[in-house]
Structure 1
Amino acid sequence: MVLTRSASRAAKCIFKWLPNEILHLVATELAPTDLAVLCRASRLLKNIASPLLYYSVELSTSSSLISFARSICQSVDASLPNSARLLEVAKFTDKKPPISPRIVKEINDALCRLIRLEVLILLQRSIDYTYLLEHGQFPQLVVFQYLVPSHALPALTSFLNRHKNITDLGFISPDSLKFSTPLSLPNLQSFMGSFAFLSTLDLTDVSLTHLTLLLYPPDIAVSHAVLVNLHEMKMLSTVEVMGMHANERAILHVIAGHLPHVQELVFHHFTSTSSPISPNESVNIAASLETLGELRSIDFGGVGGNVIEDRHMVAQWSAACKSLTSVILDERQWDFKENDWVVSWNL
């Protein structure tokens, strides 16, 4: 986009004679704070910097979210909301009083104007986004992550039914929730959520490549029934497991029985004092790994253990799974190099 200006090329200020394309290239290298300064420098620089400033927006305080919403609603530039492609509202770091319903409505109105969003991440539970879910229309939306309250499920169902282009979907919930009716997202490639949420997705024509499972105790009982629907998904290469309990790695047996094509397994631990893997558990893990003929990498993170014990377990697992080339255990990465397992890094 070429902007016009009346200033003479003979003017001494460099911004008066540099081509707008050059100024735009320079602006693309600036941090958001610098772009904000440019917006206050002159009308010319504001016209160049504003679209870049609003292209990717990450908000982590209530005050920044309110300011952003008001700037969208009060902007005299009707094209400004169309600049936004990515919006992330993270968990607030400030300790402000609850936001009033009037301001929440203002925030929802502002977000509904960002009709060219491609990425929408809403992880702030103190804001009620029901209005956005009911009325928002984002034709280019491909990534959607949401911290789901139970009361929002009907509105969320409506929202997803309007956005069939979503390829990356993530649900985080304080409880194990599920939709009342099946959902069809034919373009879905990556999913993050509980077994309950996964069970309500129509996976008939879906080609998942990345699956992140959030474990809740009730979910484990139904894991077999859910994962059997993924058995034929040869494109599903990466599976991550997140759970609040140290024994969440027990789900490995279920995964091994239903997802034989997995190439990468990652187990995240939410507790800082996860118990070490016992010899019996190591044997059970090796038995599960025997069925994963394409597995290249497995990550157990930091579960407490020493180098000698870890080396023995890594050797045991690689004997069971010949394709294994990388193991992360107790914050050490083991790689198979020149017919031997060596520690590549140690945190």
Structure 2
Amino acid sequence: MSVLIRRAPRERNSIIGWFPNELLMGVMRYSSQLDLVALSRTSRLCYDIAMRLLYHTVTLSTGTQIESWLRTMESTEHPTLSLVLCDHVRRFTITNLDVEWEPNRFLNTIQTLKNLSSQTVEALISILAQLHHLEFLELTDGIEFTDTLLDCLYFKTLFEFEYRAADSQISSLLPSFLNQHPTITHLSLVNYNGPLQQWDTIHLPNLTKYMGPNFLIPLFTSESIRMLTEACLGANRSSDDLDIEAALLRLATMPALHRLVIVHDMEDSTLFRSVANHVPRIGILRFGKAKGFLIQMSSEDTHEIAVGLEKFDRLSNLSFVGVYNGKGLECDDRPTIELWSRACKSLSSIGLHYNWWDQSEGHWERM
């Protein structure tokens, strides 16, 4: 407490520079009572902590927000302020957080961002280039300056990159941007349903989590996939069985892969057979329908899946999910659950027909 209320004689004597942003965030969340918040007016330490928290995450979704943020970062009254604030930024996003729920708003956002002046775009690029400690970046395609950002920017500490596709577009500069950032551990390509791309090989030696279209998997180098533990694949409209087979064949060479999610519109049993043939060493396997509601699985499919389950020796969690229609399916799944558990002894949790089953002391119970 005494540290928080003691004002440092000079800024250079403050201990604030010794703490990472994440630790300071934890301190403020734990200590955010009214009496301590009031101290931010009198305590240089609390003030500096608040500044770090305020600029840790920057999310911009309109041209007005971008211009306002640039004015703050380009303050002429305090020339060093821009450099100080840039050092605080760890996460930066240009997108609309409500894309999935408000598609019309998303289109309006893109149109607004398209109207930015060239001077504003240049200022934005200049400031982004100063974010030397950036760890997370999210961009949206369909904005005219996205290509410029991908072509000009480099972040030496970038760990997570999310690219939100719009109007079935993905920039041709994306592979080059990825290859310039080997530090990336988490890669997400969201909402992409366009045609397959003819891209160069992608080298991300530190990649551990991937979410995106299945066609990108074969483009990763061997070094890029040796540490991959989680993959979420989406089959786009142009995909066919061969595309998914190629992705699964590449996944078979990933020794660390533990969790696999596939969002698709194929027959569950057909896709499951392919997974069993190529990646039987995974621990968590989930299938989701890209569109439409789940229907009751046929007895032929349940038996075919049981045959495939015999190839798994580490699988603990298996689920088949889809768009929830607010109602459960009226069917007796216990025989299916018991059939599958006999085929794969390592199973401990199964999701089927909007219901979850867990095994406890040798008995399966619906949760």
TM superposition score normalised by structure 1? 0.79
Identify the residue that residue 133 of structure 1 maps to in structure 2.
150
User: After the TM superposition, which residues 210-249 of structure 1 pair with which residues of structure 2 at under 5 Å, given as runs?
Assistant: 210-217=230-237, 218-243=239-264, 245=265, 247=267
What are the ranges of 5 or more consecutive residues in structure 1 without an aligned counterpart? 7-18
Task: Indicate conservation of the 8 Å contact 1:333/1:343, yes or no.
Answer: yes
Identify the residue that residue 269 of structure 1 maps to in structure 2.
289
Say which SS state the counterpart of residue 197 (structure 2) adopts.
coil
Task: Indicate conservation of the 8 Å contact 1:153/1:179, yes or no.
Answer: no
Cα separation, partners in 2 of 1:321 and 1:169, compared to 1, 3 Å? same
Deviation at 1:224, TM superposition (A): 2.0
Identify the residue that residue 113 of structure 1 maps to in structure 2.
130
- The number of aligned residues is 328
The letter for the 2-side match of 1:113 is Q
Cα separation, partners in 2 of 1:190 and 1:133, compared to 1, 3 Å? same
What are the ranges of 5 or more consecutive residues in structure 2 without an aligned counterpart? 99-104
Identify the residue that residue 199 of structure 2 maps to in structure 1.
180
Counterparts of 2:310 and 2:349 in 1: how far apart (Å)?
A: 16
TM superposition score normalised by structure 2? 0.75
Identify the residue that residue 174 of structure 2 maps to in structure 1.
156
Deviation at 1:65, TM superposition (A): 4.6
What RMSD in Å do the two structures reach over aligned CA positions? 3.7
Task: Indicate conservation of the 8 Å contact 1:69/1:111, yes or no.
Answer: no
2:116 maps to which of 90, 101, 108: 101
Is 1:287 aligned to 2:292, yes or no?
Answer: no
Residues 203-224 of structure 1: CA deviation (Å, up to 9, x unaligned) = 3463211111011242432222
Identify the residue that residue 327 of structure 1 maps to in structure 2.
350
Is 1:80 aligned to 2:88, yes or no?
Answer: no
2:359 maps to which of 313, 326, 336: 336
Is 1:255 aligned to 2:275, yes or no?
Answer: yes
Greater alpha carbon shift after TM alignment, 279-288 vs 156-165? 279-288
1:192 maps to which of 211, 214, 221: 211
Residues 295-340 of structure 1: CA deviation (Å, up to 9, x unaligned) = 1001223577546522222122112211111012233221111211
Greater alpha carbon shift after TM alignment, 87-96 vs 290-299? 87-96
Identity of aligned residues (%): 25
Say which SS state the counterpart of residue 92 (structure 2) adopts.
strand
Task: Indicate conservation of the 8 Å contact 1:125/1:147, yes or no.
Answer: no
Identify the residue that residue 122 of structure 1 maps to in structure 2.
139
Cα separation, partners in 2 of 1:27 and 1:294, compared to 1, 3 Å? closer
Deviation at 1:107, TM superposition (A): 3.7
Cα separation, partners in 2 of 1:63 and 1:222, compared to 1, 3 Å? same
